Amino acid sequence: MQFMLLFSRQGKLRLQKWYVPLSDKEKKKITRELVQTVLARKPKMCSFLEWRDLKIVYKRYASLYFCCAIEDQDNELITLEIIHRYVELLDKYFGSVCELDIIFNFEKAYFILDEFLLGGEAQETSKKNVLKAIEQADLLQEVRYTPNHSHV
Amino acid sequence: MSPSVPLQEMIRAIRSARTQCEERGVIQRECAAIRAQFRQADNGGRSHNLAKLLYVHMLGYPAHFGQMECVRMIASPRYSEKRVGYLGAMMLLDEKQDASLLITNSIKNDLSNSNQYIQSLALCTLACMGSAEMCRDLAPEIDRLLRASNSYIKKKAALCAVHIVRKVHDLGELFTKAARSLLTEKNHGVVHGAVVLITELCERNSETLERFRKTVPDLVQIMKGLVISGYSPDHDVAGISDPFLQVRILRLLRILGRNNEAASDAMNDLLAQVATNTDSTKTVGNAVLYETVLTVLDIKSESGLRVLAVNILGRFLLNNDRNIRYIAMTSLQKIVGTDHNAVQRHRGTIVDCLKDQDASVKRRALDLSLALVSASNIRSMMKELLSFLSSCPPELRSQTASGIFNAAERYAPSQRWHIDTILHVLTTAGGDVRDETVPNLIQLITNTSELHCYTVHKLYRALLSDISQQPLVQVACWCIGEYGDLLLRGECQETEPVQVTEDDVLDVLETVLQSHMSSPSTRGFALTATMKLSTRITENVDRIRSIVSIYGSCIDVELQQRAVEYNALFKKYDHMRAAVLERMPVIEKNSQGHINGETIKESQTVKVKPGEPQQPPNQVCDLLDLLGGSEQPLQPSPALGSTAPPMPVSTANTVGGDLLDLLGGLEPTPITPVATVTVYEKDGVTVTLSCEKQSDSGLTVTLTASNSTESDIRGFTLQAAVPKSVQLHMKAPSGDSLPARGAAKVTQMVVLNNPNKVNLKMRLRISYTSQGSAVQDTVQIDSFPGLGQ
């Protein structure tokens, strides 16, 4: 995967994960154009489109569009499954996730994504294991954070 | 994890801003506060501040002042700060930033941390934004982790290694051994990572590929385990056990089995099993089937398995889910060349997809449909394609038009059908056709002499209804110019004739000339056509004369030049007008420069021509009778401005050789006396011929004419025709008048190239005016002196 974008129906970006090195300007340009292209598509249309030299896989969940750019050799259908798995993870973590959860807790959305995908590829295929890892990491954060424990 | 209150407050504040301006104000204030906080000493809120900054960054505001803060946070001993620091690094630092190098050391330290979640942060960041240098530095660490750590870390290290290999190809060697051993692990995540790593290594290096072929049996085993095993709750997705891993293994098998019989055999059974047993009611099952099909079609699979794969694709085509149909067509496109018949079976469904609402599906269907056109289905396919053309999205029109032309070119069942089809396309999508369509169509029309009447009638009618489509107008003008007399005759076999007067026809051409919709080249066509009609009509020549003289002062330089030359043709060279404006002979289609990439068309035409008994080229000009095959078109004497419309009339324009011919011809002829022979002698006019070889196949012929009568001869021209495979280039004659009593001669050089060494013959036509009357004569030359023929 080259990048993943989450944006609302008004075109506001909620999450962007880039797995290829691009300048800020380029990222902005790509984001703008791609968001426009995807938002212009009608509801019943195909989830795949060719854009520049990339394959774009996108799916809409309630008010959010999940959009991935994959390479030629990647399997489009399994990418749809990856998107779905990520949504399931968010759902399990936040408990019936909605867009506001992702807005106000964007850093957690990133942490969850980073536990599921690494370098653009799926790292853990078991939903249970991903959630367990996040839980543990959160605990670690708690322990280190409470002000009473002023040591390290 | 407790939410970050300061962060959430800020987000609330930003969202409640009602205008862009207000939002900017809030953000500026917040950023100032954040910057101040960064400068302060360590306090408990550092991670909150950085998180705020990252939020602001996501909204699109500049955040580069946070880069150093990220570096500091990463080095912090607190996990919460590290976590946000690394997140910031992934968002704000990419390999192009200098600051990214500063975190290399931190990453190195964290990779050896005792806490696996800290190690995980480092691995994740390295895999996301690690530059080539960082990768080189840290590769040994990653290798170590691949061998000796728990599965949680191993799976991450494997994907990190993938990133490293993508950045620095040479480092692949380092990971090969570790990758191999990872395949034996039980943990799905680790195996998945290993498969991805091995795939990456094999794609980069063919030697590595050879070595990993030995793993095919192991991979087959793992797959079998997944497919046959019972329900495993951890990895189950809609009844499929770990589809992500299955897809990756299938992809690796594809790479390993490609071009290798043994490997392909080893996986045959497994692929058959997966193809038949996988449940295809949900997307996830179809994802696995899709990957299986791709693999089967790419390796050296046995025919039964291939048929199975194509059938799966056929089933996909009938699926209600548009995504699946799209996937099916993409895959069918890949195999339409090799398994053409198998794909043909699904032609009906594919053609139906042309009517789909979705543009991506339409595009795929178009590509496939064009690939499936054949001689047997051309008529029905063309109907579908033409109706598609009238309703297709604009971005596909040009491709559709060229596809239709190609198909028509290859499989046209009849000339008339071919012309009709092209005309249909021009009326529907005239603006989207390629430039060479016009000359190609003109050539096609010239070749079909029996349909000249029909064609000109159709085009005339089309022109009456619409003059906005430029290519159509251009062809129509050209035809009316050429075959206007057929139009005026008022009778036609194939279609309803029109009853027009000469004025009507001239009206139409004038409308085109004056219309603001006509492009400059179209007007050129129209003007030339008008001029040509001067020899084909009888009453209204004066009208033509006046049109032509008006355009003599036209602003457009091209039109002006043409008009002036035509004027001259009326005034000074009236005796030549008939000859100059004669019907065009068959045009050879062999100018490769104009046809980009349509090499199939080229080779088709080249294949058809040589050796076959030609349908006699229907020339009105009787000079070009059969000379053992179709001949080169007439060369009007180059002394006069050519009145041919812009077309690849190629006499010397064949591949390669003509430039050399020109150069060959420019060499000064040697002074040694050469044998001359008289080829024509009649009524006091004598033409002699001498020739000499310039090269193995090149020959220069010099024709000399003299006049021994009592009166001067004016307008003397020579025209020559040679057999088909011979290339001819006539140089400008020394003059065109022969004074009486042989006072001076006219010489003309002709350069010939005979690469196929056919029997060289030449037919010469001599025309001149003597004592007020025009004389024309023809002579055939069968032997050339000095050639030993």
- Listed by start position, the domains of chain A span 3-145
Average pLDDT over all residues of chain B: 82
- Residue B782 makes CB contacts below 8 A (sequence gap 6+) with B761
Q: Which SS3 state, helix, strand or coil, does residue B714 take?
A: strand
Query: Higher model confidence: residue B665 or residue B302?
Result: B302
Tokens of B257: 């089995």
Q: How far apart are the first and last CA of chain A?
A: 37
Q: Which of B287, B294, B323 sits opposite A47 (nearest CB)?
A: B323
The share of chain B scoring above pLDDT 90, in percent, equals 26
Average pLDDT over residues B204-215: 91
Average pLDDT over residues B130-142: 92
Query: Higher model confidence: residue B163 or residue B744?
Result: B163
A40: distance to nearest CA of chain B, Å? 12
Average pLDDT over residues B722-731: 84
**Cβ contact, residue pair A142, B15, below 8 Å:** no
pLDDT of residue B589: 59
Tokens of B176: 């090969």
pLDDT band at B742 (very low <50, low <70, confident <90, very high): confident
Residues of chain A numbered 30-59 and touching chain B (CB < 8 Å) = 42, 44-50
pLDDT of residue B650: 37
The share of chain B scoring above pLDDT 70, in percent, equals 87
Compute the distance between CA of residue B440 and CA of residue B474 in angstroms, rounded to an integer: 12
pLDDT of residue B157: 95
Average pLDDT over residues B365-378: 89
Residue B701 clears pLDDT 50, i.e. is over it: yes
pLDDT of residue B600: 41
**Cβ contact, residue pair B251, A73, below 8 Å:** yes
Give the bridge partners for A118, in sequence order: A121
Q: How far apart are the first and last CA of chain B?
A: 101
DSSP annotation of B523: H
B565 belongs to a structural domain? yes
Residues of chain B numbered 130-149 and touching chain A (CB < 8 Å) = 131
Least confident range from B364-368, B616-620, B776-780: namely B616-620
pLDDT of residue B787: 61
- pLDDT tens, residue by residue, A95-137: 999 999 999 999 999 999 999 999 999 999 999 999 999 999 9
Is CATH 3.40.50.720 the classification given to domain A3-145? no
- pLDDT tens, residue by residue, A25-73: 999 999 999 999 999 998 888 999 888 889 999 999 999 999 999 998 9
If one counts the domains in chain B, the total is 2
Last residue of a domain, one of B533, B554, B581: B581
Query: Higher model confidence: residue A17 or residue B359?
Result: A17
Q: Which of A42, A76, A138 sits opposite B327 (nearest CB)?
A: A76
B476 belongs to a structural domain? yes
Element (H, E) at A50: strand A48-51
Residue B165 clears pLDDT 90, i.e. is over it: yes
Give the DSSP per-residue string, B396-419.
HHHHHHHHHHHHHHHH-SSHHHHH
Average pLDDT over residues B66-86: 91
Last residue of a domain, one of B581, B608, B641: B581
Mutation for testing the A interface, residue in B53, B61, B76, B79 having most A CBs under 10 Å: B79
B268 belongs to a structural domain? no
Interface check B4 vs A, CB under 8 A:
yes
pLDDT of residue B55: 92
The amino acid that residue A19 corresponds to is Y
Beta-carbon neighbour count of residue B386 at 10 Å?
Answer: 16
pLDDT of residue B612: 36
For chain B, the 3-state helix, strand and coil shares in percent, each to the nearest 5, are 60, 10, 30
Task: Give the domain range for residue B490.
Answer: 449-581
Residues of chain B numbered 649-668 and touching chain A (CB < 8 Å) = none
Cα separation values, B570 from B399, B550, B565, B763, Å? 45, 14, 9, 29
- pLDDT tens, residue by residue, B624-646: 343 333 334 444 333 333 343 43
**Cβ contact, residue pair B243, A78, below 8 Å:** yes
CA angle A83, B9, A93 (to 5 degrees): 30
pLDDT of residue B441: 82
Last residue of a domain, one of B581, B604, B634: B581
The amino acid that residue B478 corresponds to is W
B658 belongs to a structural domain? no
Q: Which residue is closest to A12 within chain B, CA to CA? A: B59
pLDDT of residue B786: 62
Q: Which residue is closest to A41 within chain B, CA to CA? A: B358
Residue B607 clears pLDDT 50, i.e. is over it: no
pTM attached to this predicted model: 0.70
pLDDT of residue A40: 92
Q: Which of A13, A124, A145 sits opposite B58 (nearest CB)?
A: A13
pLDDT band at B547 (very low <50, low <70, confident <90, very high): confident
B295 belongs to a structural domain? no
DSSP annotation of B41: P
B605 belongs to a structural domain? no
pLDDT of residue B460: 85
**Cβ contact, residue pair A77, B283, below 8 Å:** yes
Average pLDDT over residues B151-169: 94
Query: Higher model confidence: residue B254 or residue B512?
Result: B254
pLDDT band at B695 (very low <50, low <70, confident <90, very high): confident
**B129: chain A residues, CB-CB within 8 Å:** 21
- Asked whether B764 and B680 are in contact (CB, 8 A), the reply is yes
DSSP annotation of B738: B
Residue B79 clears pLDDT 70, i.e. is over it: yes
**Cβ contact, residue pair B323, A48, below 8 Å:** yes
- Asked whether B445 and B483 are in contact (CB, 8 A), the reply is no
**B187: chain A residues, CB-CB within 8 Å:** none
Residues of chain A numbered 112-151 and touching chain B (CB < 8 Å) = 114, 118-119, 121-129, 133, 136-138, 140-145, 147
The CATH number that applies at residue B681 is: 2.60.40.1230
Q: Which residue is closest to B187 within chain A, CA to CA? A: A124
Interface check B38 vs A, CB under 8 A:
no
B771 belongs to a structural domain? yes
Residue B670 clears pLDDT 70, i.e. is over it: no
**Cβ contact, residue pair A118, B160, below 8 Å:** yes
Residue B548 clears pLDDT 60, i.e. is over it: yes
